Structure 1
Amino acid sequence: MPVFSGIWVPLVTPFTADGAVDFVALRRVAERMFAAGVAGLVVCGSTGEAAALSKGEQLAILDALLEWVPCERLVMGLAGNNLDEVLAQQREIQRRPLAGLLVAAPYYIRPSQQGLLTWFGAIAEAASVPLIIYDIPYRTGARLELETLRELAGHPRVVAIKDCGGDPDKTQALLAEGLLDVLAGEDAQLFTTLCLGGSGAIAASAHVQPEQFVRLVECVAAGELQVARAIFYQLLPLIRLMFAEPNPAPVKSLLALQGLISDGLRPPMQASSAALLQRLREQLV
């Protein structure tokens, strides 16, 4: 059984009208996700606007969720480009119980493959919980090669990958070799990844209709591929809409239309355009 499987939702961070973290709305969204049967939540990732949160705010969000959510169903994002600072934040996070850490490559620096091995190796050596490698070169500027991932998979703390690498050959090799649990990170690749043997997804669009995303995973696992395919094609327009403008603006707008949060982001992120809002309203009809 994979360590990380099923649908994990990379939770948005709701804000109040004055821009503070809205902990009441945070709990509301978390409870909605678990009522739908998701496997767990990933907090303070890119969908959670972690780059716009202070380190203290990130820890406060984690602490708040740990009051309501079983620790084995929470993964915390860990990112940065100063290794000492990242390791210090890792130590603070690991004072709390949690299921694991989602760790990205250092952004902007664009290190060599050896540099990436050094980066992830240091974090793995300091880890007291399992690690999910977040492979997302279009955000970090750093591409993790297959051989690098194979070497990282040899560390006992490195157990999974959130696959946003954009390389189907690499994805297929990872799935075939089974060295890491492969979680789809590009929502439109969910069905393909599952059918090829992936263990699940970290899917921002699963904020909306989470029951259907959970059902899709269950159907693939049960071999009910015709049903799963029908669910996926029913979800695909929603998935595309959720990324029609920079994430997480569309997700937040739809959650706001559902009455779960206020539709606010921190600069430089911008709210959904009027045209997109109209399309989102039509989605709810």
Structure 2
Amino acid sequence: MPSTPALTTPFQGLWIPLVTPFKDDAVDHPALAALTTTLTRQGVAGFVACGSTGEAAALDKTEQLAVLETVLGAAQGLPVVMGLSGYHMGQTVEWVNALAQYPLAGLLVPAPHYIRPSQEGLLLWFRTLADASAAPLVVYDIPYRTGAALATETLLALAGHPHIRAIKDCGGNTAKTQALIADGRLAVLAGEDAQMFTTLALGGHGAIAASAHWQTQRFVELVEQLRVGDLPEARHLWQTLQPWIETCFAEPNPAPLKAVLARAGWMRNELRAPMLPASPALAQRVQAAAEVSRL
């Protein structure tokens, strides 16, 4: 099995893209702090605040900063990456500048959504934000959300920027993933939970995995087994986790995940419209899959 490239980076291991708990349509900061504190004890490498799992698109800027402050306060020194998105260059740069006051490990930045710029436009977007940022950038390659596909050549060009350090890989292109791992300049983090095993077995550095809110220690164990090359044990553990991962994304994220976390008493089963809670039928399926993943 390929070994992980010799790259010194904080962007490795298992990262949790935190859900945002709500209570009566307001952010439930006590629940968020308790969730973050609980996960710090499970061996995770760090957290992402205000990512897509955190329903950041439904939070205004004041709410996003409050979420970030809660996570930073509860993370007990573990690194925190802040998600951001947009399509207005000037306004996004202003937001990057506003985040400079926080002790962030990085900014998780997707391509500008909706407008679908050229590859040269994408290079300009990421380089401009990287130049403006006090924290290194993690490129979020997720074309099914943004409508903009980052070509392998574009990502390799971005890897030459000293302030672009990692990629959350949701591109769905194994050849591109392998090319980035072989190049070695960016830490490659699996962003699709179902691709975690493959990416890590190929030599990726870690994963940002929403499903790892549940049975977190087992996901941490999986990442470590793949890091040291214990493929038989990793394969067995992966097979026990697969039903949970598949069911966790059977409806739009984070609805299935919140159903399980609410059932466990960690938060209310509440999302911001137009996102809706998991259907009753799926909520039962998710709970059953969550129980199976314990075995």
Alignment partner of 1:162 is 2:171: no
Alignment partner of 1:127 is 2:133: yes
Give the one of 45, 54, 58 matched to 1:52.
58
Deviations 1:152-191 (A, max 9, x none): 1111010100000011111111111112100000111111
Alignment partner of 1:33 is 2:32: no
Deviation at 1:281, TM superposition (A): 2.6
Structure 1 residue matching 2:22: 3-state secondary structure: coil
Cα pair 2:14 2:208 within 8 Å, conserved = yes
Alignment of 1:78-89 (within 5 A): 78-89=84-95
- Give the root-mean-square deviation of aligned CA atoms: 1.1
Report the counterpart of residue 249 of structure 1 in structure 2: 255
Deviations 1:5-44 (A, max 9, x none): 000000000000x200000100111112111111111010
Alignment partner of 1:14 is 2:21: yes
Cα pair 2:47 2:80 within 8 Å, conserved = yes
Counterparts of 2:175 and 2:75 in 1: how far apart (Å)? 37
Alignment of 1:1-285 (within 5 A): 1-16=8-23, 18-70=24-76, 73-285=79-291
Cα pair 2:84 2:107 within 8 Å, conserved = yes
Q: When the two structures are superposed, what TM-score results if normalisation uses the length of structure 2?
A: 0.94
Deviation at 1:68, TM superposition (A): 2.2
Deviation at 1:51, TM superposition (A): 0.3
Q: When the two structures are superposed, what TM-score results if normalisation uses the length of structure 1?
A: 0.97
The range that moved more, 125-134 or 275-284, is: 275-284
The range that moved more, 87-96 or 63-72, is: 63-72
Structure 2 residue matching 1:67: 3-state secondary structure: helix
Identity of aligned residues (%): 55
Give runs of ≥4 in structure 1 deviating > 6 Å: none
Deviation at 1:280, TM superposition (A): 2.2
Matched letter for residue 68 of structure 2: L
Cα pair 2:244 2:290 within 8 Å, conserved = no
Cα pair 2:47 2:78 within 8 Å, conserved = no
Equivalent residue pairs, number: 284
Q: Which runs of 5+ in 2 are unaligned?
A: 1-7
Matched letter for residue 193 of structure 2: D
